[in-house]
Chain A
Amino acid sequence: MARALIHMPADARSGEIIEIRALIAHPMETGFRPGNAGGILPRDIIRNFVCKYNGVQVFAAELHPAMSANPYIAFHTRATESGTLEFTWTGDNGLAQTETARLTIAS
């Protein structure tokens, strides 16, 4: 399991636009670099990132080798209801990791 960090407010007013910052520890090996033993290091990157808000996709990203190591993505969503945000990263070598965060709507 790679270490993942999610930065977002724990509570928000209804209709407020919140910023979500997601970062995951990953080398994002491009598949273009030569290794110490000679030959090219095989590609090992995160291909996709999806954010679901109570099961509905609000944001997704398709990543390519030109993304930096430890890919960081900041985006926004409108707080509509209390619930769970689910973040999923999938990538090469069968990588699949999901993190969740709670969002509470103050009435």
Chain B
Amino acid sequence: MRKALSLEFYKLRRKYVLPMALLFLTVELVWALIAVSMSFERNRDSAGWEVIVAMLSTMNGLFLPLLSAIVVSRICDMEHKGNTWRLLRSMAVQPGKLYAAKYACAGLIMLGVCLCQVLAIAVFGVQSGYLTSVPLVLLARFLFGTLVTTLVVLALQQWISTVVKNQAFALCLGMLGGFLGMVGDLFPEAARRVFVWAYYTGLSPVTQQYASEKMQFVVREAGPISSAAAVLLAVAALLFLMGRRHASRLEG
């Protein structure tokens, strides 16, 4: 498995996947952090780590489904383009192992993106001058929620990208996911539970509430989020297994 994974990264040489992911992340961070610093300047009393985490969670709902779609599409499309699915099978590479290696590869890239994001939040918070000690627990919870949601999205995207050769459909799903991730909070609770992309804010440790016509940022309790995350991880595993089974049965 380790060899299959290292080969996936080897295949991505000169594919510029990492620079593109970083470019994407930079655009998101610039947008989010400019908005946060403007908010801090307008109202110095409201300055807090919670504002940054809530803002990034909302932005992630738009950006990460799209980035996940692009990363997975890049990883799967190279096999479609080169007609290498069959070649790899004839070299005694088990289809299930190949599928898992691709998922792990995409997951590690997205983990890197999420870690960069957390690092950027910490650096920005300290540099801004409004905030002091870095809240490690809050950031760890933010990282966990973002990662769990991304794992589900990746499993879904990989299924589509592997099974449907035309990557337009996978990217269309990514675009719809980004849209639903961004506006997910506007939906009723029942609808929000169905859309996996809405969990970028759903698993965020900070939520926004309106009290006496003023927006407040409230830190959520870990309990309900953990149970939702456990369900989501099970969904990710299910999607992964179904996708792997489907892909393994395809005629290369």
Q: Do A and B come from one complex?
A: no
